[in-house]
Amino acid sequence: MLKNLKNMEFSKRLLLFVQGLIIALFILTTVATFKGYVDALVAMITGVFSLASIAFGFYFWKAKAENIRKYAKKLSPEDIEKVAAAYFSIFKEDNEDEGI
């Protein structure tokens, strides 16, 4: 297990750490609720879940960038132009709806 953890990418280790924090927070919240210590949990819950959203957002952004790079090597330039045109047309439609 420890050997697998050393060979794992940093971003995956970061996600495991954040998931561990969420599980620990769940256990702490359960115990604190039964004991009546609820005041400090608001800040802890907000902090942990904001950290989780940043970590997961970074991981998905990184995976998207890796996939774009991987598929750019496999696709022909014409295919890349088609995909880019489709993507930008969707983006343009979204901006037109917002009045930008």
Q: Distances from the Cα of 10 to the Cαs of 15, 20, 27, in angstroms?
A: 9, 15, 26
**Tens-place pLDDT, residues 79-98:** 778 877 887 887 666 555 55
Tokens of 26: 């769940």
Tokens of 37: 């210590």
Count helices and strands (H / E) in the chain.
4, 0
Q: Distances from the Cα of 65 to the Cαs of 42, 46, 91, 96, in angstroms?
A: 35, 28, 18, 26
pTM: 0.55
The pLDDT value given to residue 80: 75
Residue with tokens 């115990």: 31
